[in-house]
Structure 1
Amino acid sequence: MKHHLGSNKTFNTIFTFECLSSMCVLIATNTHRWIPLSDQEVFAVFRFPCNCFDLCVCRKKLKTLSFHWVNMADAFEDETEQTVSLNEYLDEVEDQELEADLVLGGDEGKECTYGKGYMKRQAIFSCITCTPDGNAGVCTACSLSCHDGHEIIELWTKRKFKCDCGNSKFGEFFCKLLVSKDIENEENCYNHNFKGKYCTCGRPYPDPEAEEQVEMIQCCICEDWFHEEHLGLTNEVKIPRDEDGEPLYEDLICHICSPICSFLHLYPQTIFASDNPQNPTTPSKQKSIETSPSSSGPSTNPQLSKNMILGENSGTCVLGVDLLSNELTSDKSQSQSQPMFLTKNWREALCGCEKCLGFYEKKGVSYLVDKEDSIAEYERKAKEKRDEKMQQEEGAEMNFLSNLGHVEKMEILSGIADMKDEIRSFLQSFDASKPITSDDIHKVFDNLKKRRRMD
C-alpha cells in the first residue's frame, strides 16, 4: 500500500558516527536522542518522539563531512546483514519523514480538526478498540491524544470527512481535545477500510497470511485500495509503468467505479496513461484540437487545458454533447468494466460548463473539478508546509545558539567535551559482542553527573 504509515524505526542499540577529522561525534541511542558533539561548534541537542527522528541542522552538516560508521551490536540479528553508509541512512530517514508528512498533510496533530467541518481531504484513522464495527474515523490529533494505546488503523486520506472522535458512536468515551460535538456526522462516508479490510478480496494490510506484502493502489473515486491482480485487468489493459517500474499515471479509477466515469471516454485519449502511448482521439465537435502524449506521464495539451479549466467555462460546453443523454455515459453502456489510469493534471481537462457541472453533481463526482480534492494538490501543500517548518526550526536553532553569551557558550562547550570524553571511554571499555542497553546509557550520564559534582 502506498504511503502506509508505521514504517519509522526505533533504535534498539547505539550508533556512533565519528568524523574522520575528529571534529564531531553523533550518538543515536534507544532513548531516542540525537546528540551532536563538537570541539569547535555546537550544533544542538534534539529530542523527538520515539517514531520520529530529524537531524535538522546536524543533518546538513553531516552530509558535508566524511564519517566513519561504528555499529555497536544488537541492531542486526543476522551478522551478515548488509550495513549502510551514514548518507544512505540519513536519506532513508528523510524519505520516511517526507512520506509521513505527505500523508498527514502537514498536520502536526495538536488540534482536533472537527471545527474545520467536512475537510476536502485529511488523514483519517479508525480506532478498532472504540468502534470495532468500523463506523467511525478520527483525525490525526485525536488518534494521538485520545486513542493512544488503542488498536488504530491508518487509512491514509479521506475526502469530505469530519472527525467522529467522542460522538455517539463512541458511547461514553469523550474527545479530550474538543468535547462539544454533534451526535453524528451524517455526511461522512465509511467503507470496509474502517474495519481494516481492503480490496475486493477483503484482506487486511499488512496481511498476516501473505508471504510478501504487495503494494496496493487507491481508487480516486471510492477511495478503497486494490491489489493489482484484483483490478479486473485484461491482456489489453495493463498498469502503465516506465522501464524502472515507476507508475506513469496520477490517479486510478477502479473497475467498480469506471462505469460511473464512462463520460471520460469522450475526452482526448491523452488523459489516459499508457506505457505505449499512441495518437490520441479528440472529443466530438472538437476535431481541430490536436494533442500529443508526453514520454514522462503525458500531461494535457496546452490548448485543451486553456479551454477546459476547472469550472471556468460556464458557457459553452467544450465537449459539445449533453452528458445526461449521451449513450456513452450510460452506466449500462460498458459491457465489461475496466479500470482507468489517468495522467498528470487530467482533471484540468474536465469541462466546467453549467450542464457538465450538473452532470457531475448527479453522478456524485463533483469533487473531480475541485483541485484541492486531488492527492497531488494535497501532497503539494504538505511539501510546502514541511519546507516552511524546517526553515523555521533551523532558524530558531541557529538564533538560540547565536544569542547565547560568551559564558553560556563556554559552559556548553565544556559540557560537550566532558560528554564526548565519557562516551569515548565507555566505547573503548565496552565489549563489542554484547548489546548496549538503556541501563548502559544511563550509567554514562550518571558518571557525567558525578564528574560535575567533583568539579
Structure 2
Amino acid sequence: MASGDFEDDAEATVTMEEYIESMDAEELEADLVLGGDEGDECTYPKGYMKRQAIFSCITCTPEGNAGVCTACCLTCHDGHELLELWTKRNFRCDCGNSKFGTLACKLLPGKDVENSENSYNHNFKGLYCSCDKPYPDPNGEEHGEMIQCCICEDWFHEEHLSLKSSDGVSSQIPRDEEGVPVYEDFICQNCSPVCSFLTLYPEKLWVAAKVDSNGSANACADTTESNQTSTATEPVQPENSTEAEKSVLRGCSEKLADSEPFPAAGCAIATGLTSCPEFEKKPLFVTKNWRNMLCKCEKCLEMYSERKVSYLLDAEDTIAEYENKAKEKRTEKLEKQEGEALDHFNNLDHVTKVELSHGIKDFKEGFRSLLESVGTSRAITPEDVEEMFSKLKNKRKRME
C-alpha cells in the first residue's frame, strides 16, 4: 500500500488559529447575507425595505409567489423546505398573509392580505438564469460562475450571458490578468433596454470584454488606452454594438459634446433619449462608482421614475452599502457582548470573582499541558479534550 493511502484515510486537521479564523469567517459571511439581522423580530412593520435577506418557503408556497424575512424563516418555518434568496430590494415580509392559507405568522399576525408592491421571479421557485435551472444543478452539470443582474436581481451562468463581440465571437466576463472581475455591476440583456440611457454616458462608465485577433476573450480593455481615442463627453460604443447602433450613438454625440459635466443644468441624456431609439438586448457591465456618475437633473429624475429605476440613485440600494451596514452592526454586537461580559464580571461578589479567575487559570494551564504533551506528532482528538476536562473536574473536587 502506498504511503499516500494513509494520508487519504487520515482525518483532516486544522490548527487552532485556522479553526478560529474559519469560525469568524463563517459568522461574518452569515452577517453579511442577513444584513446583521438577528432574526428576533419580523420586519413587516418596517414596510417595503430598501434591501433585506429574503427566503422562499417551498413547503408553504411551492408556486414561488411569497417571501419571508429572517425572523419568520427561523420561527414560523422551522423544519420547512426553504430557499435562501440572498437579498431583495423593496420587499415586505409575506409570512402569514393570504398566500400561506391557514398558516399564521407567529411573530406578527394580522398582516395585509397581500403585499402589492412585492416583486417575484423564478428565484422564488429555486430556478435561476435564462436556462431556468435550479442551483446547484441536480444533474451535476457545471455551468460556471453565476453573477447577479443589479436590475432584476436574477442570477445568470456565465455561459448563458449571451456575450458576443461585434464580429460574433464569444466573449467573457471582464476580468483582470489575475482573473478578478473588474466591473461593479452587471445588467442582463433583458434589463438592458430599461437602462438604455446608460449608453449615452462617457465610456468611463463602462467595462468591456476584450477579444484578441485569435478570437479568444482576454481581460478587459485598458480604460486609459480607450480614453486616448475618445473625448470625455463622447458616448461609449460597447464592443458588441451593431453598426446601426454605433451610427445612432454618433448622432447623439453632438448633443453630448456641448454638455456640462454630469449632473448638468442642460442635460443631454434625457434629451438624447427622445431622438435615440432603443438598442437591442445585450448584457452590460458598468464600472466602479458608476451610480455616482448618473445625472440628477429634473428631466433625468423623471426618466428614472418612469422606468422604475430611481433606486439607482440611492446608495442604500447597493449590496456594498448593505454589507457595510452589516459590518457596523456586527462590530456593535461584539463590543456590546464584550461590555456585557465585563459588566457581569464586575457585578460578581469577591469570592465568585476569585473562583472564576482560578477556573480560567486552570483551564489555560490544562490546555497548555495538552498542547505540550501532543506536540506536533499528531492532531488533538475529542478524546484528548474530554480527558483534559476530566482532569480539571477532578482537580476542582480535590480543592473542595
TM-score between the two structures when normalised by the length of structure 2? 0.77
Do residues 448 (structure 1) and 382 (structure 2) align?
no
Q: Distance in 1 between matches of 2:141 and 2:118?
A: 35
Percent of matched pairs sharing the same residue: 58
How far apart are 1:320 and its partner, in Å?
5.3
1:241-390 aligned at under 5 Å gives the runs: 241-274=175-208, 275-276=220-221, 277=223, 278-279=226-227, 282=233, 283=235, 284=253, 285-287=255-257, 304=261, 307-308=262-263, 316-319=265-268, 321-328=270-277, 330=278, 333-334=279-280, 337-390=281-334
How far apart are 1:452 and its partner, in Å?
4.1
- 2:125 alignment counterpart: 195
Q: Closer, same or farther in 2 for the Cα pair 1:435/1:244, shift >3 Å?
A: same
Q: Closer, same or farther in 2 for the Cα pair 1:122/1:320, shift >3 Å?
A: closer
SS of equivalent residue, structure 2 residue 117: coil
Structure 1's unaligned 5+ residue stretches are 1-75, 290-302
Q: Distance in 2 between matches of 1:320 and 1:211?
A: 44
Q: Closer, same or farther in 2 for the Cα pair 1:269/1:132, shift >3 Å?
A: same
Corresponding residue pairs, total: 351
Residue 198 of structure 2 aligns with an amino acid whose one-letter code is L
SS of equivalent residue, structure 1 residue 386: helix
Do residues 167 (structure 1) and 97 (structure 2) align?
yes
Per-residue displacement from partner, 1:339-359 (whole Å, max 9, x unpaired)? 111111111111122222222
Among 109, 119, 123, the residue aligned to 2:49: 119
* Bigger helix fraction: 2
1:125-140 aligned at under 5 Å gives the runs: 125-140=55-70
- 2:114 alignment counterpart: 184
- 1:47 alignment counterpart: none
Q: Distance in 1 between matches of 2:103 and 2:394?
A: 45
Per-residue displacement from partner, 1:360-406 (whole Å, max 9, x unpaired)? 22222222222221212222222222222222222333343355443
Q: Distance in 2 between matches of 1:399 and 1:322?
A: 63
Q: Distance in 2 between matches of 1:449 and 1:165?
A: 52
How far apart are 1:445 and its partner, in Å?
6.7
Q: Closer, same or farther in 2 for the Cα pair 1:86/1:288, shift >3 Å?
A: farther
Q: Closer, same or farther in 2 for the Cα pair 1:288/1:179, shift >3 Å?
A: same
Per-residue displacement from partner, 1:402-433 (whole Å, max 9, x unpaired)? 5544322221133345667888999989xx99
Q: Closer, same or farther in 2 for the Cα pair 1:244/1:160, shift >3 Å?
A: same
Q: Closer, same or farther in 2 for the Cα pair 1:77/1:147, shift >3 Å?
A: farther
Q: Distance in 1 between matches of 2:98 and 2:337?
A: 40
Q: Distance in 2 between matches of 1:81 and 1:104?
A: 33
Q: For the aligned residues, what is the CA RMSD?
A: 3.4
Task: Specify which structure has the bigger relative contact order, considering alpha-carbon pairs within 8 angstroms and separated by 6 or more residues.
Answer: 1
- 2:342 alignment counterpart: 398
